[in-house]
Amino acid sequence: MKYNEQDLTEIIEGLSQKQKSLPSKFFYDQKGSELFDQICELDEYYQTRTEAKIMTDNIDQITSVFENNTLLIEFGSGSSLKTRLLLEHLPNLSGYIPIDISKDHLLKSVKQLRFEFPDLEIAPMIADYTRALTFPPIHRAVEHKVTFFPGSTIGNFQPEYAKEFLRVIADECGQNGGLLIGVDLKKEEKILYDAYNDSKGVTAEFNINILRRINREFDGDFVLNYFDHEAVYNSEHGRIEMHLICNKDKQVHIADKNITFKKGESILTEYSYKYSIEEFAALASDVFVLRNYWTDENRLFCVMYFDVK
């Protein structure tokens, strides 16, 4: 079996630490992307519908920050559901570059968008956006670049890496560029707990699927029912931590490597940091200036627009 050696190295290094971990980007194979779409429709998972309502309620204000001949770049585009709202209200875009790690999911979405917006140049990129990117050429004039990063995905980065990633975005957008980003706000812990421990078990299946993918793509032999989903809120750090807890002693093989698990040992699969508006504005302040923000009436979620400094 042929492996992506860089990905394999990340997996082995993560599982060799005292606190075993896996990069959350490995959630998003085709099945993982489909499961995440299901999560977004769950009653407990307020993020997606709240962000969508914020954008719908404020779409005229949000799109007013876009100039003519803007290139829209979206990291982790997935099904591009929220992007449609922007595209419907931005007829003068130079183009749209959706970037996603899940090839089948991305291409399916792009096919539909090209049908719905035949006059818009769409240049999809199948890529891990945490690595260096070379963007495809756009044939229309580009005077303004805006990155769209919805869904509170920025919360998956530890703050120091989030700052670094925001700098990369600012450098790519350049002078006169901007960032439209979704940020999950701090709130009552029970709301957060329920959002990551849904009653239907979809989030648990999503979490376990990361092991299924390693079995398939990296010749792993994880026994899936030896691992249990757990998501907890760490109030000290202001983040949800998602784990897979091993429920018995087990040795796992991945490619030609052996990893030993003790009963009760966990694999950390995701952080999801929550911020106040002021905290996130400060996090971004090295490279961005906050121009405007929009929230729901319960202040569960925030959509923020920044100008590049």
**Tens-place pLDDT, residues 3-21:** 789 999 999 999 999 999 9
Looking at the predicted structure, is the pLDDT value of residue 128 above 90?
no
Sign (positive or negative) of CA dihedral 79, 154, 149, 135:
negative
Burial class (CB in 10 A: 0-12, 13-18, 19+), 268: middle
Q: Are 27 and 269 in contact (CB under 8 A)?
A: yes
The predicted model gives 234-259 an average pLDDT of 96
183 has which bridge partners? 302
| Residue 135 confidence (pLDDT) | 85
Tell me what pLDDT residue 1 has. Answer: 62
Which has more pLDDT, 56 or 136?
A: 56
The pLDDT-based confidence of 126 (bands split at 50, 70, 90) is confident
Q: CA-CA distances (angstroms) from residue 116 to 88, 109, 120?
A: 9, 11, 9
How many Cα atoms sit within 13 Å of 290 on the Cβ side?
A: 16
Residue 78, pLDDT score: 67
CA distance 125 to 77: 10
Q: Looking at residue 3, what is its pLDDT?
A: 78
Sign of CA dihedral 117, 121, 127, 131: negative
Distance, CA of 89 to CA of 75 (rounded, Å): 20
pLDDT band with cut points at 50, 70 and 90 for residue 50: very high
Q: What average pLDDT score do residues 211-235 get?
A: 97
C-alpha 75/C-alpha 153 separation (Å) is 9
Contacts of 270 (CB under 8 A, 6+ apart): 24, 27, 156, 207, 240, 241, 242
Around Cβ 128, how many Cβ atoms within 10 Å?
16
β-sheet with 239-246: strand ranges across: 20-21, 266-273, 239-246, 227-234
pLDDT at 136 over 90: no
Q: State whether residue 136 is helix, strand or coil.
A: coil
Sheet containing strand 288-295, strands side by side: 125-126, 95-100, 70-75, 144-149, 178-184, 301-308, 288-295
What is the domain class of 46-187+275-308 according to CATH?
alpha beta
Please name every residue paired with 98 in a beta bridge, in sequence order, or none if there are none: 74
pTM over 0.85: yes
